[in-house]
Amino acid sequence: MNGMGFFKRWLGGADASAQQSEGRRQAPLGTRMLVVDDSPTICAVLGRMLEQDGYAVQKAADGERALELAKAELPELIFLDIVLPGINGFAVLRTLRHDPRTAHIPIVMISGNPQATEQFYVQRYGADDFLKKPFGRAEVQASIEALVRAGRLAARPVEPPVVAVPPVVEVVHEVMTGMAA
């Protein structure tokens, strides 16, 4: 896959509309999310994906900043890389799970390191989901949908279908015409 194909997949590319099916459940618009990754590219791309779906996104490049933001801002969902400079993602996860103010926040661990992926499954410290890099829009949306369905995130209200209503003048004319006959 060339570089452009990779970024198109991440951003949803041509099939973004196909992935926006009516059955998909999302968190409410404005849901606060924290993206923690030492890669500026991943922070930017994942942040953009989430913002395109109507979420408010903050970013942190290391574990220390992630803990500061999580405790100060209380995001409603955290995407947390495992391999970080300083405090790694497992230590951040444990710290957040042991703090009563942050213990309830759903956390999706992310990693592209095969050893970290294996370690995650061996040492599951209470994360809600896992995404293996590289991931695309569909995987991110599926993770959020699973958290909504599990009751870990609130659900976005379902908008009623738009029904075409004829202009009032036409309705009045039809009623008056029908009454005259």
Look up the CATH superfamily of 3-11+22-180.
Response regulator (3.40.50.2300)
Return phi, psi of residue 119, to 5°.
-60, -40
Q: Measured on CA atoms in the order 115, 116, 119, 120, is the torsion positive or negative?
A: negative
- Give the Å distances, CA to CA, from 177 to 164, 168, 173: 22, 14, 6
Non-local CB neighbours of 65 within 8 Å, separated by 6+ positions? 36
pLDDT class for 30, splitting at 50, 70, 90?
very high
What is the pTM for the complete model shown? 0.75
Asked if 152 and 27 touch (Cβ cutoff 8 Å), the reply is no
Q: How high is the pLDDT of residue 164?
A: 64
pLDDT digits (tens, 9 = 90+) for 94-153: 999 999 999 999 999 998 887 776 666 545 678 898 888 999 999 999 999 999 999 999
Query: Averaged over 15-19, what is the pLDDT?
Result: 38
For the chain, domain boundaries = 3-11+22-180
Q: Supply 123's token pair.
A: 């040492």
- Looking at every residue in the chain, the average pLDDT score rounds to 82
